[in-house]
Structure 1
Amino acid sequence: MRDFDQMGIVVDWLDACRKGDLATLLDLYADDAEIECTCNGTHLYRGRRELETYWGPRLNAFSSAGFGLEEINPVPNGVDLEYSVAGALRIHASFRFSPEGKIHSTLCVPARQGSQNCGAC
């Protein structure tokens, strides 16, 4: 059992997204964290600099549209989150954590959108 609140970290992640707070969002990730996004092909981003390049434009575009919490569930090795952008576009994100309580990896895929390009994650 981890001695940190994985669900709380994901809620903090969502709050940072809602506020468009890139610095806080990046601070939730481990230094060697990675994001694998499969919304428009498969793209892998590693380390703070690449995560900043990934999240910067997305936060600017989508924080004003609104991030909504649809579902959040603990899973054996982390937390699964389904969130919406602008109340309609749904994204499924799976979070895994470092022993220090930072997000180590995120896998995002479009939710309920088939093979359509979600463009949000």
Structure 2
Amino acid sequence: MTFDPMAAAIDWLDAYREEDLDLIIAMYADDATVHCNCVGSTIVSGASKLRHYWMVRLRDHPASELLDLNPMENGVRISFATRLGAMSTLLSFNSNGRIVEQNFERSN
């Protein structure tokens, strides 16, 4: 069975929309880094910081509908709606299919 990054990105958005913190955290590699340029600029790495980041994000910026999904050379860009408006994120995966880097930004 081969890893499908597009399907993994949809699974990530589904977990985000369902506010399933444990499933979201399980999707990240142990050494993952999240760059968030949504409101200010934040860089998060480490399991406990990642969990705290997601607890706040789920509370303050829940996701709703999928807006766009595109394969990229280094991962998948997925765009979706939140209370902040349209957001997009680039998800980069390791060979085990876990997220190693994520870059959030507000969409134009």
SS in 2 for 1:53: helix
Q: Counterpart of 1:68?
A: 65
1:21 counterpart letter in structure 2 = D
Equivalent position to 1:106, from 84, 96, 102: 102
Distance in 1 of aligned mates of 2:75 and 2:97:
11
Distance in 2 of aligned mates of 1:45 and 1:5:
25
Q: Counterpart of 1:80?
A: 77
Q: Counterpart of 1:118?
A: none
Unaligned runs of 5+ in 2: none
How many residues end up aligned between the 2 structures?
A: 107
Distance in 1 of aligned mates of 2:44 and 2:101:
10
Matched, 1:53 2:49: no
1:98 counterpart letter in structure 2 = N
Instruction: Say what the alpha-carbon RMSD is for the aligned residues.
Output: 1.4
Q: Counterpart of 2:93?
A: 97
Distance in 2 of aligned mates of 1:62 and 1:38:
13
Distance in 1 of aligned mates of 2:64 and 2:102:
17
Percent identity over the alignment? Answer: 32
1:97-116, CA deviations, whole angstroms, 9 ceiling, x for partnerless residues? Answer: 1111100010011111xxxx
Unaligned runs of 5+ in 1: 113-121
Q: Counterpart of 1:38?
A: 37
Structure with bigger gyration radius: 1
Q: Which moved more, 1:32-41 or 1:69-78?
A: 32-41
Distance in 2 of aligned mates of 1:93 and 1:18:
14
Q: TM-score, normalised by structure 2?
A: 0.91
Q: Detail structure 1 runs of 4+ shifted over 4 Å in the superposition.
A: none
Distance in 2 of aligned mates of 1:62 and 1:20:
10
